Chains A and B, each alone.
Chain A
């Protein structure tokens, strides 16, 4: 009986909607508004045309993917210091969703690169660092699932989260310096980037906030999944103890 009760408690707080539901609603509304802004309000780029609007998804998604890794870093430190399941849950959820966002950042980046720079990929600092971030995320998730026990997995993952985060700025600058010696032959208007018209900047900012809420909502969902996972584990344990 105790198990189902604690599960119900985590689903709702009396009559009030859960944080998760609130985030979902906010995200949904903001996304609709964001799409309106992107397609109806933002001006058309004079050089690139409508394809430039990819920018309003690609950039916020990339920013959120780096921010997610910062969350992983803080939560990893928190876990190593405090060892509560909550810290580990935040780190794990942020990492999993972070990898979704980085993957998306890379995919939209590739789709963006083709019409703008006439190449699918270029080893420029931001794209390269995003690629490395993806690899570090993957290493984080791999070490967690390949570790001998769950608790070791949590510790090893925290180590990767911390070392990886410290490393990312070094990676970025090393590629920037490398790039200054080996410049790209094709440099598009947005490689120097950020020569933004006022309205464009505002739409970009709104899109960023939208994706921040989307991220928070996804983390909430993922953490609830983990709660369910733990409840399932508890009930299985109880059953095993009673010989079933």
Chain B
């Protein structure tokens, strides 16, 4: 028993903006997150290299 309200103002063809929005949002969110992770990774690695240089220059504990 399927009863649904199909409004004539919502013809299938007029829904393409929603289709685009859904896929666009998906890409933005997924790649946005990956980009965020990669950037933090990059920044941390730079920091590690920098600190490693400092470490090499400091003498060992007495």
Is there contact, CB below 8 Å, between A228 and B44?
Answer: yes
- Complex Cα gap A7–B51 (Å): 14
Give the tally of cross-chain contacts (CB within 8 A): 119
State the main secondary structure of chain A at its contact with B. Answer: helix
Asked whether any CB of chain B lies closer than 8 Å to the CB of A84, the reply is: no
- Complex Cα gap A236–B54 (Å): 10
Contact size range, B:
35 or more
Is there contact, CB below 8 Å, between B12 and A49?
Answer: yes
Q: Please, how many residues of chain A have a CB less than 8 angstroms from a CB on the other chain?
A: 49
Is there contact, CB below 8 Å, between B10 and A118?
Answer: yes
Which residues of chain A (80-116) have a CB below 8 Å from chain B? Answer: 97, 100, 103-104, 107-108, 111-112, 114-115
Which B residues are closer than 8 A to A by beta carbons?
2-7, 10-13, 15-16, 18-19, 21-23, 25-26, 29-30, 33-34, 37-38, 40-41, 44-45, 47-49, 51-52, 54-56, 58-61
Which A residues are closer than 8 A to B by beta carbons?
1, 3-4, 7, 45, 47-51, 53-54, 57-58, 61, 97, 100, 103-104, 107-108, 111-112, 114-115, 118, 186-189, 192, 214, 218, 221-222, 224-225, 228-229, 231-232, 235-236, 238-239, 241-244
